[in-house]
Amino acid sequence: MKVNLKDNKKWAAEERRRIKRRGIILTSVILLSAAVFTGMVRYRCWYLENGRYYPHIILEDMPATGEPVVYAYEGFDNVVKSPSLPFTMLMAGEVLSDHEEYCIFWYQDTYYVIAETEAETVCMLKDLILPALGADVTGSTCFNVQEGYLNSRHVEIECITFALGDRGNLYSVNYRLLLPTGRDIVIEGISADMNVDEVCRNVEKIFYSIREIVPQKEGKTTVIDFEAVGDEPADSIIGNITVHVDGNGEFPMDQDFLPEGTLQSEIQSN
């Protein structure tokens, strides 16, 4: 039997090169992982700090010609009446709070608020709505603030993130219908989840259901046409006086549910 033995010095040199290559590979993997982790952290900070998780809502500079179009979406069958302003909206979900200036609904794990206010949106949420929900706000940041026209209505759009200390954040999407009366109508969706795309869609559905109640001359009625969206359409008849939505009851903002067929003219504000 013939056995070939390597020179000890040659073997030691090859072993050192092998160890060096392993060290280089291990160091490269560590540096690459650190770079990826740092990049992810920096991107997340940039993503959070700039509110990139909020959808961008396109507004028009001028109102379109014609009257606003009113939509009734499937499932949105609670009629909410503004206390002192001549507007109604359609809302879905369960009523949690019925205040003289606002009402709060719970729908798809999200709070939805319809309010009539003079205060700035962020102040109203921080000082009135969130405390009513038991939230202790420690700070807030506004994103995507813009003013313009949507569905021929003058609006202000604002997305606000509220910090709750060590309890995390709340994320809100807010549509404000700007009116010349000094009081505006604010529609808000508030979620503990950063993914607010569905929240934004639902707030938009409420906004597109806004209907203005126009006083009619005695004995005169007008039928209003609107587009119903969904498998089960809702109807609005006898122009701006009686609202009948798919056989469901009506809910004014400042009263209990009213029987089906209640006249809008019979709804008294607080």
User: Which of 50-59, 185-194, 198-207 has the least mean pLDDT?
Assistant: 50-59
User: Residue range 44-67: average pLDDT?
Assistant: 78
Res 70 pLDDT > 70 = yes
Residue 139 to residues 123, 151, 165, 181, 247: CA-CA distances in angstroms?
Answer: 11, 33, 8, 30, 43
User: pLDDT value at position 224?
Assistant: 40
User: Which of 62-71, 83-92, 189-198, 237-246 has the least mean pLDDT?
Assistant: 237-246
User: pLDDT value at position 30?
Assistant: 77
Report the length, in residues, of the chain: 270
| pLDDT 10s digits, 82-94 | 888 889 999 999 9
Residue 217 to residues 42, 97, 146, 213: CA-CA distances in angstroms?
Answer: 63, 35, 38, 13
User: pLDDT value at position 124?
Assistant: 92
Give strand pairing partners of 102.
115
User: pLDDT value at position 21?
Assistant: 75
| pLDDT band, residue 226 (cuts 50/70/90) | very low
User: pLDDT value at position 40?
Assistant: 62
Rounded CA-CA distance 159/67 in Å is: 27
Residue type, 193: D
Res 239 pLDDT > 50 = no
